[in-house]
Structure 1
Amino acid sequence: MTALVEFLADKRLLIVLDNCEHVLGAAGSVVSALLGSARGVRVLATSREWLRVTGEQAFPVPPLAVPGVDSSEDGRALDHGVAEYEAVTLLEERAVAVLPGFRVDRDNEEAVARLCRRLDGLPLAIELAAVRLRMLSLEQILQRIEDRFRLLTTKHRGALARHQTLRAAVEWSFGLCSPAEQVLWARLSVFAGEFDLEAAEQVCAGAGLAEEDILDAVSGLVEKSVVSPVQRGTTMWYRMLETIRQYGREQLAVRGEEALLRRRHRDYYLAGVSPLVRS
């Protein structure tokens, strides 16, 4: 480290560190040492969590933009500008690589929009879905999307293991969570929509996770981009992407807590504790 710091001391460089989440301590130490001694060096680090070093500034990277739906009863995709959405662009680019004649047009744009929405605009999920277009139509993929973790796989040589299946990617994130965060991730999966901190505390506290620990666990999941904060007036609400939620439901079933948490969720909202029900 001393030699590296001395070499960079008078340099003007941008150093890029990719995927730091599994080596946060080491990455933070290296970045602190470099920035403290090499004033002309800047670091761009990608990570699911902050490095927690002096001067750090976060730039959240949200999922790709997906087409919305109009107000019609059948929920058809908006019929203008569908191809301009980031998720649709990525799907088309990756689909052409395996199916040269594929194009997003008036005949398939509704199915494309629905697929991108169901995949939460997640780039890896979209890329894996595009690979399936070699053998399945868009409608067939949509019919099987409830079992997305089995459907979305590939065997791309040279790709990291966690990039070859959607399950492996989500399991990677799950493994980076603390035991308390893993328990909360599973239990929060009973919320189909947005929830507030009070709801999380009342529904999710129990064996292995005390009510007073919920705040820190939610904070940890937000920092790891598992849970997304949503400002609603003067209150902060939270939500999980459907892909993340489905994995949590699997873990809840493994823990044998699904029936219990569903009852708690039901009882909480039937009691009218929350002034705004988003379930």
Structure 2
Amino acid sequence: LATSREPLGVPGEVVRPLGPLPVGVALRLLGERGAAARPGFSVGEDREAAEEVCRRLDGLPLAIELAAARLRMLSVRQVAERLDDRFRLLTAGARTVLPRQQTLRAVVDWSWDLLDGPERVVLRRLAVFAGGCDLGAAEEVCADGAGPDVLEVLGALVDKSLVVAGPVDGGMRYRLLETVAEYARERLVEAGERGEVERRHLAYYRELARRTDPELRGPGQVAAIARF
């Protein structure tokens, strides 16, 4: 048994992906770490806000622990309301852990630094999709021209747990966790690509809408809508 950021690629390997925490487990972690930061804290004081925190942090244990540390001076509702600026908010990691685990930004920076050039290009461009996309959309919007195929790069990003892939209606759909998406959007702006990638996104879906329009008026309506 071995743990690794991505598959080892050795003969006989069986991969067991470790996904985000289920809601119940995430809430328990938030409650335990929150009570350690502020004695008497319970997720029951605002369960709706606690669930929002766990959901918007994608069930990621370290992110939830960093959020719980903020409960020393904020209510769980205030934490939830500030998650649009999560990288500034979640900076109170334990001093005894590795530097890359002390802030949420440091965690994602570390993963980003391990990517090669084409992987960075595709990851930041995927940030323009709200709710994910299929392979065709990713190929049209994220292609780099001179780089490797988008399919190959997507596979590498899935292996590195930076892109989540799941079957939908006979195909696969690719999406970013909210934390990764926010980081990727920052990198897209930093690279000066936002305008061009958003134009590609608009052109792709405008053409898809034109081709799909006849199907929206018949028995294939549900399947047609799902492609968006």
When the two structures are superposed, what TM-score results if normalisation uses the length of structure 2? 0.89
Rounded Cα–Cα distance in structure 1 between residues aligned with 2:6 and 2:72? 36
1:206 to 144, 163, 170: 144
User: Post-superposition, which runs of at least 4 consecutive aligned residues in structure 1 deviate over 2 A?
Assistant: 206-209, 273-279
The residue aligned with 2:17 is 60
Name the amino acid aligned to 1:92: G
Equivalences for residues 178-217 of structure 1 within 5 A: 178-206=116-144, 209=147, 213-217=149-153
Rounded Cα–Cα distance in structure 2 between residues aligned with 1:46 and 1:137? 35
Write out per-residue CA displacement over residues 61-120 of structure 1, whole angstroms, 9 at most, x where no aligned residue. Answer: 000112xxxxxxxxxxxxxxxxxx011000001001111110122x41111111111111
Equivalences for residues 1-279 of structure 1 within 5 A: 44-66=1-23, 85-105=24-44, 107-206=45-144, 209=147, 213-272=149-208, 275-276=224-225
Structure 2 contact 49–76 (Cα < 8 Å) conserved: yes
Shift of 1:277: 5.3
Gaps of 5+ in 2: 213-223
Rounded Cα–Cα distance in structure 1 between residues aligned with 2:14 and 2:182? 31
Name the amino acid aligned to 2:35: V
150 and 218 in structure 1: CA distance in 2 versus 1, 3 angstrom threshold: same
SS in 1 for 2:173: strand
Worse-superposed segment, 257-266 or 237-246: 257-266
Shift of 1:142: 1.6
Shift of 1:213: 1.6
Identity of aligned residues (%): 51
Q: Which structure is richer in relative contact order (CA contacts within 8 A, separation 6 or more)?
A: 2
Shift of 1:171: 1.1
Structure 1 contact 144–151 (Cα < 8 Å) conserved: yes
Per residue, is there more helix in 1 or in 2?
A: 2
SS in 2 for 1:63: coil
Name the amino acid aligned to 1:183: V
Rounded Cα–Cα distance in structure 1 between residues aligned with 2:146 and 2:109? 20
Rounded Cα–Cα distance in structure 1 between residues aligned with 2:22 and 2:93? 27
The CA RMSD over aligned residues, in Å, is 1.6
Structure 1 contact 269–277 (Cα < 8 Å) conserved: no
The residue aligned with 1:33 is none
Rounded Cα–Cα distance in structure 2 between residues aligned with 1:142 and 1:160? 26
Shift of 1:54: 1.5
Higher-Rg structure is 1
247 and 156 in structure 1: CA distance in 2 versus 1, 3 angstrom threshold: same
